[in-house]
Structure 1
């Protein structure tokens, strides 16, 4: 019955389209390709080219998103065959995107983080690369239109300062879905050494010293690495740095934009990290350790604490170590504060919109039909499809709730659950749909994983910047300034922590960043924050 309802809905919308196009209604030529006005031959969407980066959990078992069960079913429902175009992963994808944007012939749909387009999404519209979607959504996307009407805060996130909606976005619909990364610690090591969970910076120091000196892995060797903390962990989660009330980038206090890495408190943080590095409490190879090396160190019983994800951290290593070390228990730790009772301000909490969305390009000959096709992802049926796959194949409805089948949660061939699920849905990564909390409740099922979302959600994040965007004129200048600043800042971070640069050079480091145009970057961010408030 669900499919039939959708087909009826599709036919009704097609009839509306015919009536409107017959009346000669349309948007500006630059924003929307010309649509056939002959009611005898309305635009029919049967094929679609779709450019999107493929994620590792899909590429591990499949060559294309066409092989995902959800897209097989979507083709059966809508009759639209999608030609997915997947660029190489990593930096090459960005390079291919930039090269593609110089062409006059683009794929019909491009799924990307459009803040990465030179000048931002509004510039992409003005350049005639993608279509402003406001009117098309209003007329042809009833499901998505309803979502935006019911959640004006989401609409604010996906709208440019000029009022343009430019993508069908990936949306996290529950606060619990925005929290999935934070500090973790070996609870079994704490128990073995009779230690309590650390909550302050000083308590963390005492715990790390004990990990270093008291052989918690029990092998008789001084091979423990108390804390694995990369520069990226500091940048992303402000782990430990947040105890000083600042972050590693731009933040705001009472509407005033500030920059953490030049604050005197950043020097205090660097001084402590340098001390911990000298004492062997930080991984001595933190600057060069990659994901495979990290996995080897954790499964080898060396690392006592690290910043990790709920699923691919706590969940993954709990599974890998289940037989190897039955005592192994990796759990979430609270973001540390300076003094007992201090409010946790900084942690990691993503926006509802993660910045990635599907844009309709100006090369698309059937924008109206494409908008209808994308709109399906925000319907009740589409939400189920993208979160759970095809009913009867990967899940079944039980007491009105979608429940994954046992063979998906525990793949008979031994695939990790993230790869097993990705054969059926897109909820393990992102896409033009809404992430359902009922998916996450089955994806993260272990008690320690569920507890992590509660522990890591404690910080207020009251100083976090919203998803602002510079204007077209500001964008290139801002990018130029911050590219130089970030390169220098990252280089100096490593030197300060590893002792290659003495701390008495911090003031010189601050003046260097200021000379690179920091004041101008702050002004651009300040204006962007004020514009965001007026959206």
Structure 2
């Protein structure tokens, strides 16, 4: 994924779940004696609990890109405070995230803990400016649960200098479906019949998909007096990246045994020609370039948009509204479309990063890094995971036959209105260091999406396949630092890409689309693309050597 893609995903995930979290300390709190034993750390936590009971609560300041929580008073917050002796105080993380982070960096006014998009240049800027402290020694001494939970992945968070400056959120490989083609089910039944609409396992070919959009437009030129839209996408945040999986394209092209820009993948040219066809034939939303997620959500919630391509979980909220408006069949459901020249086994819809979406980092403004690490260790522990993702034992879940068992009314409440339930209970509000997978008792850490998956997820599971999954952590962070000559080339190349994507898609003819594609490649090479690819290949091979693995291939 490109930088702005990852940034938008993080914002959607965290904001949609009302997720605000953090770690660190702004004052001297109780410390361990320096031993690595879990008993010592547990003893420290007991001391912090006593301190909290005596009113000796320490404050942790946190910046999180997902927004802010004004109060720290819900049941989960109270449990966190009781178990750690820490109260979390939030710096407003909503709105222009990178602008705020840059202002804090320039003024050195950042809080104890910052959450940084791992693919953003701001992440590198904070590290290069010396704003982040190294965590390796702290983890070794005060992070036994971090070491256990991250395991062999911990080495992959090391920077080129061998130090760890942040730990990932939503780490370890998640096999769950990611990007899907989502089609409004009630309308699809009218166009192709219920039997085909119910067959999520059988992909649509590219030609079938285009014909499907045409048939929809012919059958439903307007819906409720509004001109219908066969397909709309979030162009402002995602550009056309959501279509990469349809053609088996990944972040970088490795067909020539080196790292090259994805536009060099022969299938990329095929992809933009398909999108250009959709645009020229009036099937693509004419406003796609300027749409952000909020605008796209408004369009698909009003019921006159037939199809979109995006992360399947973002349809949850619109689907809730659509079902209320038009019944259980009025929602968006997941399907796979296979591009020409690609088999169903070669699609790459499910791009996942084992290192997560972003990093939790302790800054040099933190007055007590040891206490901050102790807090982070609890939040990263299995107990911390279940507390932040499931809620409070006895109130939101129980142990039944040695396993976590959610209270049905709590789960129903969250699925009915996740924002209101999260605000009331604290569930999913303070999550951090989230590990994909299951706990020791076999129950999933992420209760909401993994426990008895909703119908939205069930359709996605049917449409997706194991072959769609690939780990893009191998390709993350290969671009040179922005302050280097090669970093400037990378920015120029990215700007050229942003400039030409809408030119290719919105071209007046197929010939013009191809001409724009060739002009894009030419301008990228003039800007220094070959030199950039050489640097990224060098960085890639060095990264594989640090990790101790062979160069990765998604196919």
TM-score after normalising by structure 2: 0.76
Distance in 2 separating the partners of 1:130 and 1:346 = 35
**What is the SS of the residue equivalent to 2:350?**
coil
Q: Deviation of residue 201 (structure 1)?
A: 0.7
Q: Deviation of residue 254 (structure 1)?
A: 7.0
Matched, 1:482 2:466: no
Indicate the larger mover: 194-203 or 75-84.
194-203
Distance in 2 separating the partners of 1:505 and 1:199 = 28
1:55-204 counterparts in 2 under 5 A?
55=66, 62-64=69-71, 66-87=72-93, 89-91=94-96, 93-103=97-107, 106-113=110-117, 115-116=119-120, 120=124, 124=127, 127-149=129-151, 152=152, 154-173=153-172, 175-177=174-176, 179-195=177-193, 196=196, 198-204=203-209
| Residue-by-residue CA offset, 1:316-349 (whole Å, 9 max, x unaligned) | 2332122321231421111423258542332132
Q: Deviation of residue 144 (structure 1)?
A: 0.8
Matched, 1:224 2:228: yes
Q: Give the structure 1 partner of residue 377 of structure 2.
A: 375
2:174–2:436 Cα contact (<8 Å) kept? no
Distance in 1 separating the partners of 2:36 and 2:188 = 68
Q: Give the structure 2 partner of residue 258 of structure 1.
A: 260
Distance in 1 separating the partners of 2:215 and 2:466 = 27
2:247–2:342 Cα contact (<8 Å) kept? no
Distance in 1 separating the partners of 2:543 and 2:467 = 23
1:119–1:473 Cα contact (<8 Å) kept? no
1:49–1:85 Cα contact (<8 Å) kept? no
Distance in 2 separating the partners of 1:512 and 1:127 = 32
Distance in 2 separating the partners of 1:441 and 1:426 = 10
1:244–1:265 Cα contact (<8 Å) kept? yes
Describe the shift of the 1:229–1:336 C-alpha distance in structure 2 as closer, same or farther (beyond 3 A): farther
Q: Which has the larger radius of gyration?
A: 1
Describe the shift of the 1:373–1:205 C-alpha distance in structure 2 as closer, same or farther (beyond 3 A): same
Matched, 1:358 2:360: yes
What is the aligned counterpart of 2:33 among 1, 10, 15? 15
Q: Deviation of residue 191 (structure 1)?
A: 2.1
Describe the shift of the 1:274–1:252 C-alpha distance in structure 2 as closer, same or farther (beyond 3 A): same
Q: Give the structure 2 partner of residue 207 of structure 1.
A: 212
Q: Deviation of residue 525 (structure 1)?
A: 1.5
Q: Give the structure 1 partner of residue 41 of structure 2.
A: none
**What is the SS of the residue equivalent to 1:434?**
coil
1:184–1:330 Cα contact (<8 Å) kept? yes
**What is the SS of the residue equivalent to 1:211?**
helix
Distance in 1 separating the partners of 2:215 and 2:362 = 56
For these two proteins, the number of residue pairs brought into alignment is: 482
Indicate the larger mover: 448-457 or 511-520.
448-457
**What is the SS of the residue equivalent to 1:324?**
helix
**What is the SS of the residue equivalent to 1:55?**
coil
Distance in 1 separating the partners of 2:36 and 2:231 = 63
**What is the SS of the residue equivalent to 2:106?**
coil
Q: Deviation of residue 398 (structure 1)?
A: 3.3
2:222–2:228 Cα contact (<8 Å) kept? yes
2:232–2:308 Cα contact (<8 Å) kept? yes
Unaligned runs of 5+ in 2: 1-28, 38-55, 198-202, 439-443, 547-555
Q: Deviation of residue 508 (structure 1)?
A: 2.5
**What is the SS of the residue equivalent to 1:353?**
coil
Q: Give the structure 2 partner of residue 27 of structure 1.
A: none
Distance in 2 separating the partners of 1:486 and 1:340 = 26
Q: Deviation of residue 515 (structure 1)?
A: 1.0
Matched, 1:274 2:280: no
Q: Give the structure 1 partner of residue 321 of structure 2.
A: 320
**What is the SS of the residue equivalent to 2:33?**
helix
1:157–1:467 Cα contact (<8 Å) kept? no
Describe the shift of the 1:300–1:448 C-alpha distance in structure 2 as closer, same or farther (beyond 3 A): same
Unaligned runs of 5+ in 1: 1-10, 20-44
Describe the shift of the 1:448–1:127 C-alpha distance in structure 2 as closer, same or farther (beyond 3 A): closer
Distance in 2 separating the partners of 1:80 and 1:222 = 53
Distance in 2 separating the partners of 1:457 and 1:363 = 46
Describe the shift of the 1:291–1:265 C-alpha distance in structure 2 as closer, same or farther (beyond 3 A): closer
**What is the SS of the residue equivalent to 1:499?**
coil
Describe the shift of the 1:48–1:167 C-alpha distance in structure 2 as closer, same or farther (beyond 3 A): farther
Q: Deviation of residue 419 (structure 1)?
A: 4.2
